[in-house]
Structure 1
Amino acid sequence: MPRPRHIQALVIGTLLAFALAGPAIAADVTDADYPRSLEQDGPVAVSWADPSGFTEIRHSRNRFEARRGDWVRDIARHLARRAGDVLGPGERLEVEITDIKRAGDFEPGAGRGDHVRVVRDIYPPRIHLSYSRHDAAGNVVDGGERELTDLGFLQRGVGMVSMSDPLRHEKRLIDDWVRRDLAGPGR
């Protein structure tokens, strides 16, 4: 029996909406098609090494779950936004994220599936990066390598990042670094 025209139109419209919506969230941050940098649309350029070499994936107890999602790009976007807010007129910042270890880990056999990230103080977040800051004339005025970590990350207050954000601990590391190293006194 043929479907009524309004149901056919609804099905076709739904399929078309999904097709035009663009690429879905990356299923695996180690995919060959996964980007290795943000498109630069401001004063901050953020790139990253191959996530398959990140501690988060290499040392995970569940590498499949550790690779899932779009978390690398989410962290990079947060970095670009926060750093862009503190740069002076004409300044540029280039950042390469060289390693990430997210807060928590997967604990197989602990009475829950091994697909659940358990956040404990023994699994602090860490981000390694290198950066160079350029003045309006293009001269490098600051730069270096940083290892961002917070061993007391669970004892700290909420801060600027939402408690429902699964990357809140990593984003707080970035916020602290931007305040400490980039904003400087009086900013």
Structure 2
Amino acid sequence: MRTRYLLPLLAALVLAPTLAGARSVVTDPALPRALPADGPVSVEWTDPAQFSDIRFSNNRWEAQQGSWVAELARHLQQQAARRLPAGQQMEVTITDIQRAGRYEPWMGINYGHVRVMRDIYPPRMTLNVRITGADGQVLAEGERKLSDMSYLQNSTPVDTDNLRFEKRMIDDWLRRELPAPQA
């Protein structure tokens, strides 16, 4: 009788680590650290384990879950490609990300996996940028520090994208960095 329950229990214990590891982890060294070259904008990033969002998180395990670094890089690449004048190239290296909000597990056992949004936890991002003209001449180069201190005032309750604050911050920066040509 006891062996009848023992076999499913052993199977569950063997499969548990496999199922738990099924979610992607941004700090996995086997993952690429750049997007495939696609058009005039190339985006790469340094080791996500060194990003502020993970290093200073109150729940490192939860902070490194998912593919949020690649998702933000893809958004940056697509939006910059739309705004970049014809013939120009843009190279971006993401060196740090602090997503909006923080984990506050001290609020209770049910809050360990909840990212709490407060004014004191704005999204931030540090980038190294290089923009070259069609002739290869460097038009702009340097470090850019992005932040959106009023991210909660500009939010819309219908937007359910987990990275909406960071994406809006990127969009705002691109509008300043690559203004639309005057008609």
Common fold: TM-score over 0.5: yes
1:98-117 paired onto structure 2 within 5 Å = 98-111=95-108, 112-117=110-115
- 1:180 pairs, out of 170, 176, 179, with 176
Instruction: Give, in whole Å, the separation in 2 of the partners of 1:182 and 1:68.
Output: 32
Instruction: Kindly indicate whether the alpha-carbon contact (under 8 Å) linking 1:26 and 1:34 is maintained by their aligned counterparts in 2.
Output: no
SS at match of 1:77: helix
Instruction: Determine whether 1:167 maps to 2:163.
Output: yes
- 1:137 pairs, out of 135, 148, 153, with 135
- 1:58 pairs, out of 55, 74, 79, with 55
Instruction: Give, in whole Å, the separation in 2 of the partners of 1:182 and 1:26.
Output: 36
Instruction: Determine whether 1:90 maps to 2:83.
Output: no
How far did residue 96 of structure 1 move?
0.4
Instruction: Report Cα offsets for 1:18-69 as digits up to 9, x if no partner.
Output: xxxxxxx861100011111000111000000100000000000000000000
Question: Bigger shift: 85-94 or 56-65?
Answer: 85-94
The one-letter code matched in structure 2 to 1:29 is V
User: Which residue in 2 is equivalent to 1:75?
Assistant: 72
User: Which residue in 2 is equivalent to 1:11?
Assistant: none
Q: 1:185 to 1:88 in 2, by over 3 A?
A: closer
- 2:117 pairs, out of 111, 116, 119, with 119
Instruction: Determine whether 1:155 maps to 2:157.
Output: no
Identity of aligned residues (%): 50
Aligned-residue Cα RMSD (Å) equals 1.8
SS at match of 2:118: coil
How far did residue 183 of structure 1 move?
2.2
SS at match of 2:96: strand
The one-letter code matched in structure 2 to 1:75 is L
Instruction: Kindly indicate whether the alpha-carbon contact (under 8 Å) linking 1:26 and 1:70 is maintained by their aligned counterparts in 2.
Output: no
Instruction: Give, in whole Å, the separation in 2 of the partners of 1:68 and 1:56.
Output: 11
Unmatched 5+ stretches in structure 2: 1-21
Q: 1:181 to 1:150 in 2, by over 3 A?
A: same
SS at match of 2:128: strand
Q: What TM-score, normalized by structure 1, do the two folds share?
A: 0.81
Instruction: Give, in whole Å, the separation in 1 of the partners of 2:49 and 2:124.
Output: 16
Instruction: Give, in whole Å, the separation in 1 of the partners of 2:62 and 2:155.
Output: 28
